[in-house]
Structure 1
Amino acid sequence: MNLTAVMITVDCAEPQELARWWATALGGQIAQDHGDFVIVKAEPVALGFQRVAEARRGKNRVHVDFAAAPGTSLTVEVARLVALGASVVGEHSVPGLTWTVLQDPAGNEFCVH
C-alpha cells in the first residue's frame, strides 16, 4: 500500500471551539491553529477542523470509531464524553461487539466501543 493515514478532517462552522472540545475528549492538544483550519494531535489520530460556510445536513457520510481505553468500560467512557458535552444517539450490539453512537457539540457523529 502506498497511502498512510495522517489526519481525519471535519468540516465545521467554528473550528477553534470544536478543536478544543475534541482535544479535551481525546486527551490531546491543539498542535496548529491557522484560523480557518485547526489541528488536534491525539493518539492514535490527528483531527483537523476546517471552517465551512454551509451547515451539515443529514447523517455523516464518514465517522470515526474509538475504542475505550483498556480497563475502562464503555458505560464509563460514554458518561465522560456526555459530561463534556456529547450526546448519545443510539446504542447497538452484534455478537462480540457493543458500541454507542454519539454526537459532538457540533452534531458530528462518532462511535465508541
Structure 2
Amino acid sequence: MTITPAMITCDTTDATALATWWAEQTGGTVTEENDGWYVIVAVPGGPTLAFQKVEEPTPGKNRLHLDVVTDDLAAEVERLRAAGAGLVAERGDDSFRWVTMTDPAGNEFCVAPRH
C-alpha cells in the first residue's frame, strides 16, 4: 500500500490574499473559497495548493516549501519580485542555480531552471 500526495497546504493569516497571489503566479485558479478560511487553487499541470487561515503564523522557518521551475530564471525572479515576492538568496554554482524567495506572507519557496 502507498500514499499519493494530493494537495500542498500552507497556513496563513489571510488565506484569500495568499491563495490569490499564488494563483496569479502559477496561472492557477481559485476553485474554492470557503469564506476565506480554506482556499483552494488548481494549478495547471501541477499540484493543488490550499491556504488555511490561522490566527498566528507558525514561528520560525517553514519546514516545507514549494520548488517551482521556469524556462528563464532571471526573468521569472524579476517578475515575482515585481509581484511582491521577497529575495532571500541566489544559490548554486555553474552546474545548477536556484533562487530562494518568500511569498507575501513570508513563506519561502525556490525557483529553479526547468530541466
Instruction: Give me the TM-score of the superposition, normalised by structure 2.
Output: 0.90
1:5 aligns with 2:32: no
Stretches of structure 1 lacking an aligned partner (at least 5 in a row): none
Q: Which residue of 1 aligns with 2:75?
A: 76
* Offset at residue 73 of structure 1 (A): 1.4
Q: How does 1:43-58 map to 2 (within 5 A)?
A: 43=44, 44-58=46-60
Say what the alpha-carbon RMSD is for the aligned residues: 1.2
Moved runs in structure 1, 4+ residues, more than 6 A?
A: none
Q: How many aligned positions are there? A: 110
> Partners of 1:51 and 1:20 in 2: how far apart?
13
**Identity over aligned pairs, percent:** 43
* Offset at residue 55 of structure 1 (A): 2.1
> Partners of 1:4 and 1:66 in 2: how far apart?
19
Q: Could you list the per-position Cα deviations for residues 62-82 of structure 1 after superposition, in whole angstroms to 9, with x for gaps in the alignment?
A: 1110111xxx31001111111
> Partners of 1:81 and 1:21 in 2: how far apart?
10
Stretches of structure 2 lacking an aligned partner (at least 5 in a row): none
Q: How does 1:1-113 map to 2 (within 5 A)?
A: 2-35=2-35, 36-43=37-44, 44-68=46-70, 72-94=71-93, 96-113=95-112
